[in-house]
Amino acid sequence: MTLTTPTAVRTHPAHPVSVQGVGRTFASRDRSAQPRAVLADVDLEIAAGDIVALIGASGCGKSTLLRQVSGLDAPTTGRILIDGRPVDGVDARCAVAFQEPRLLPWRTLTQNVALGLPRGTDRATGDRRVAELLDLVGLADCAGYRPRQVSGGMAQRAALARALARNPGVLVLDEPFGALDALTRLRMQDLLLDVHAAEPTTVLLVTHDVDEALYLADRVVLLGRPAGAPPGAPAGVRSVVTVPGRRPRDRGDAGLALLRAQLLDGLGVPTHHEAHDPDQHHSI
């Protein structure tokens, strides 16, 4: 993959993100049931230009936190600041890519990427920027195709280009490679690192994959319920792990193995699954 130097003027530099005491409670549809608290007292400081991975068990509120950073959802308590200014509604400084590409099926890849351009971009600049981004994600040859004519990995790359077209100060990725096959996923991870090197922006990434988190991130944030909390308790930041070494990292780095074990343990998945002794009585 060749990297091109961005020619268009970048309007947003990388922004720091500050999450302060954020909680989110969802009203229950069933009137008799209690409102469900998903997040409580989440504090997180993300430096400009960092890549931060959020991991946690399913349903622990990772995506909810991301949606709040991007302004698609609002916290019940606390606040989120991007570059010192609070997020209020969908924020132009943020760009989101979802687990699914979510491209508009009636538009070509070019037109889909153009949807991400900031409002008021003049046509010539916009066209140039879109072409440059498609080149950056390796889709220059397929610019005229519609989403259903390309593979899942290509569509996801187009979605990444669309997010970058916004010139985001913060790039928010909600399990962006989760639906891809294992090989495509590894390629996309490298692509993300290339993109980050070409256009350094703050990246906040949700993933289920501990290895992905360790490969990509400067820091890994483990979200979850406090130890010993009842099952319905809201989640918070359990630990923040700074990943040693510089990117690009070696996927087989032995030094990361210990961190991997720690994080998996934090997710409730011990690295060594004890074989069940059929004679031994145990409860689950």
Q: Is 29 in the site for another protein (CB under 8 A)?
A: no
Residue range at the interface with another protein (CB under 8 A); choices 114-122, 225-233, 253-261, 262-270: 114-122
Q: Which of 3, 115, 197, 269 binds another protein (CB under 8 A)?
A: 115
CA distance linking residue 22 with residue 80, whole number of Å = 7
Token pair belonging to 63: 């995506």
Question: Between residues 94 and 243, which has the closer beta carbon with respect to another protein?
Answer: 94
Q: Cα separation of 57 and 231, whole Å? A: 12
Choose one: 14-22, 44-52, 113-121, 191-199; the region binding another protein (CB under 8 A). 113-121
Return the number of the residue (201 or 241) whose C-beta is nearest another protein.
201
86-123 in b/e burial notation, b at 16+ Cβ within 10 A? Answer: ebeeebebbbbbbbebebeeeebbbebbbebbbeebee
DSSP states of 142-186 as a string? GTTS-GGGS-HHHHHHHHHHHHHHT--SEEEEESTTTTS-HHHHH
By CB under 8 A, is residue 249 in contact with another protein?
no
Q: At 252, give phi and psi (nearest 5°).
A: -100, 15
* Contact (CB, 8 A) for 16 and 80: no
Residues of span 121-150 touching another protein by CB under 8 A: 138-139, 141-142, 144-146, 148-150
Does residue 4 bind another protein (CB under 8 A)? no
Tell the smallest beta-carbon distance from residue 259 to another protein (Å): 32
Closest CA to 203 of 173, 180, 182, 232: 173
Residues 6+ apart with CB under 8 A from 224: 56, 57, 60, 235, 236, 238, 266, 267
The least distance separating another protein from the CB of residue 69, rounded to whole angstroms, comes to 11
CB of 138 to another protein, least distance (A): 7
- Here the tokens at position 233 are 């308790």
Q: Is 180 in the site for another protein (CB under 8 A)?
A: no
d(CA 69, CA 87): 7
Query: Which residue, 54 or 222, has its beta carbon nearer to another protein?
Result: 54
For another protein, the closer CB: 142 or 213: 142
Of 63, 64, 70, 121, the residue at the interface with another protein (CB under 8 A) is 70
The only residue of 10, 102, 185, 208 in contact with another protein, by rule CB under 8 A:
102
Among 37, 48, 72, 81, binds another protein (CB under 8 A): 72
| 173 in contact with another protein (CB under 8 A) | no
**Torsion sign, CA atoms 197, 198, 199, 204:** negative
CB of 205 to another protein, least distance (A): 16
Query: What contacts 132, CB < 8 A, 6 or more positions away?
Result: 4, 6, 7, 8
Segment near another protein (CB under 8 A); pick from 8-16, 96-104, 195-203, 254-262: 96-104
| Nearest to another protein of 100, 211 (CB atom) | 100
Per CB under 8 A, residues contacting another protein are: 70, 72, 90, 92, 95-96, 98, 100, 102, 104-108, 115-116, 119, 138-139, 141-142, 144-146, 148-151, 153-154, 162, 166, 184
